[in-house]
Each structure stands twice: as C-alpha cells, then as structure tokens.
C-alpha cells in the first residue's frame, strides 16, 4: 500500500512539473507570437540600408507588395516610404518602453518555475534557459538580428 501511495505521489509531482513546463512553453509560444506581431514594427536591420525607408514596418516586402498591389506612382512611393519610416520611429519608441517590462515578466516567471523544481530539475532548467536565451534575445530585440 505504501508503495502505491508513493507511486501516486511521484506521479502527482511529475504531473505538476510537466504542467508547469507546459505552461511555460505556452507562454513562450504566446511571447513568440507577440514578438512576431511586434516585428512588423521593427527595422529589417541590414536590409534597410539597401531599401531606404522601405526597410521599416514589415521590411521592404511590405512596401514592394503595396507598390505592386496599388500601382503607386513614384511620388506616392516616396510618401509611403516616409510614412513607414515615421511609423517605425513611433513604434520603436513604444517598444523601447515595453521591452524591459516584458523581459522582467519573463524572468520573474522563470524564477518562479525554478523555485518549484528539485535541485536536479533546476540544473536542467537552467541549461534549458541558456539554450533558449539567444532566441529570447532575438524575440525581444536585444540580440543580433
């Protein structure tokens, strides 16, 4: 009987850890989706120099697609590029304000996860965090693009 109870207790612990890890992964996925949406308002670094102001707000592809679909005149294209550049500057200002708060929330959540883990699990979780740190920096716009 004790063995059965111990087995159920172990299953509950592993289920709880699996649930927390699953919740964390859902949070990462939601964060990635949000970062992807925000990326429409970030420069396409490296490519912006090649495409002028069209390198903003979705990259040169957005300006090129609008050019193709709307058959813009040269004057309209210049105005579009200026609008995209202005919009980029404004959204970058907002993103600069929000980015530290997002980073803080993610770190706080990761630290909370670490507190519920055993020492062995915590060590593996830290390895996981390090493996995914570069992706997080990319999503938050704090690393190389």
2 falls within a domain:
no
Residue 24 has pLDDT above 50, yes or no: yes
pTM of the model: 0.45
Which has the higher per-residue pLDDT, 57 or 89?
A: 89
105 falls within a domain:
yes
Print the domain residue range for 77. Answer: 21-140
CB 24 within 8 A of CB 113: yes
CB 31 within 8 A of CB 139: yes
Write out the two tokens for 131.
Answer: 């493996």
What pLDDT is recorded for position 26?
62
Write the pLDDT tens digit of every residue in 99-137: 899 889 989 999 999 999 999 999 999 999 998 888 877
9 falls within a domain:
no
CB 139 within 8 A of CB 32: yes
70 falls within a domain:
yes
Q: How many domains in the chain?
A: 1
Listed in sequence order, the residues at least 6 apart from 58 whose beta carbon sits closer than 8 Å to its beta carbon are 40, 84
What pLDDT is recorded for position 140?
75
């Amino acid at each position: 009987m004790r063995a059965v109870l111990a087995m159920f207790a172990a299953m509950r612990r592993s289920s709880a850890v699996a649930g927390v890890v699953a919740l964390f992964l859902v949070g990462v996925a939601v964060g990635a989706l949000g970062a992807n949406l925000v990326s429409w308002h970030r420069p396409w670094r490296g490519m912006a120099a090649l495409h002028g102001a069209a390198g903003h707000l979705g990259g040169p592809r957005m300006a090129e697609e609008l050019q193709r679909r709307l058959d813009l005149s040269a004057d309209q294209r210049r105005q579009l590029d200026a609008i995209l550049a202005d919009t980029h500057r404004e959204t970058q200002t907002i993103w600069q304000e929000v980015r530290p708060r997002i980073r803080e929330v993610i770190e706080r959540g990761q630290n909370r996860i670490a507190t519920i883990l055993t020492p062995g699990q915590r060590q593996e979780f830290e390895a996981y965090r390090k493996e995914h740190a570069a992706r997080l920096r990319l999503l938050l716009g704090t690393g190389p693009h």
